[in-house]
Structure 1
Amino acid sequence: MARAFTPKVITANALIEGDVIYLTADDQWSRDLSQAELITDEAHAQLRLLDAESQVAEVVGVYLADAKPGENGPEPTHFREDFRRTGPSNYAHGKQEAEANV
C-alpha cells in the first residue's frame, strides 16, 4: 500500500548570498518560510521541483522539504528544516542577528 503524500515546500540556497530560501506560489524566492507555497499534491510537487531546479542562475541545492500548515503559513516537520530557517549557527548574523535586535 502506498504511503500518503506528506505536504512539502521547495527550499534551496540563494546562489550568491547562500541564504536559505523558499519558493512561493507566485514563483518568487522568499527568505521567510511562512511565504512558501505548501504543496499537497505529489505530481504538482515534482513539477514545481523541476521548475525550481532549472533556475541555476539564482539557486543551488533545491529540494522538497516536509512541511505542515501553520497559523501563519507552512511550518517545518523536521528539526533540520526548523534549524535551517534560523540561519547560521556558528555566530550571530543574518536572521539570528535581526531577531536579537527586535
Structure 2
Amino acid sequence: MKAITASRLRDGEVVFLGEGGVWVESFAEAALFQRSEADAVLADAKAKAEREQFGVDIYAFEVVEQDGVPVPATMRERIRTAGPTVRLDLGKQAA
C-alpha cells in the first residue's frame, strides 16, 4: 500500500491525501492506495496542489501493516507523521 504526502505551503505542516482528494493533517485519516493505482492518484494530486499553490514536495510512500494498523514503512515517514523529534511539546506529538 501507499499513501501520499505533501508539505502545506501556508504553514509547512505535513499533510496527507485523504478520501475524496481532501488533504488531512493526520496520517490516520490518510487514504491508502494500491501500488498499481498510486502513481495515477499522485499525478492528479500533485497537479492540483501545484496549480492551487497548496503544497510542495508531494510524493507517495510505502505503508506496511503492524499489529493490524497501517504505519509508514520508513523511519523518515514515521517521524513526519509524528512531528519533530527534538521538542515533544510542539507539533503533532504534543496533542
Q: Mark yes or no: TM-score above 0.5.
A: yes
Tell me the CA shift for residue 94 of structure 1. Answer: 2.3
- 1:21 is matched with 15
Task: Give 1 or 2: higher helix fraction.
Answer: 2
TM-score (norm 1): 0.77
- 1:51 is matched with 44
1:32 is aligned to 2:26: yes
Per-residue Cα deviation, 1:9-55 (whole angstroms, up to 9, x for no partner): 0011111111111001211001111111111142x211111111111
- 1:86 is matched with 82
Q: Which runs of 5+ in 2 are unaligned?
A: none
Tell me the CA shift for residue 69 of structure 1. Answer: 4.4
- 1:62 is matched with 58
How far, CA to CA, are the matches of 1:48 and 1:29 in structure 2? 13
- 1:4 is matched with none
Tell me the CA shift for residue 63 of structure 1. Answer: 0.4
Q: Quick one: which amino acid aligns to residue 46 of structure 2? A: E
The root-mean-square deviation of aligned C-alpha atoms, in Å, is 1.6
Q: Runs (4+) of structure 1 moved beyond 6 Å?
A: none
Q: Quick one: which amino acid aligns to residue 60 of structure 1? A: V
Percent of aligned positions with the same letter in both sequences?
31
Partner SS state of residue 85, structure 1: helix
Q: Which runs of 5+ in 1 are unaligned?
A: 1-6
Count of equivalent residues: 90
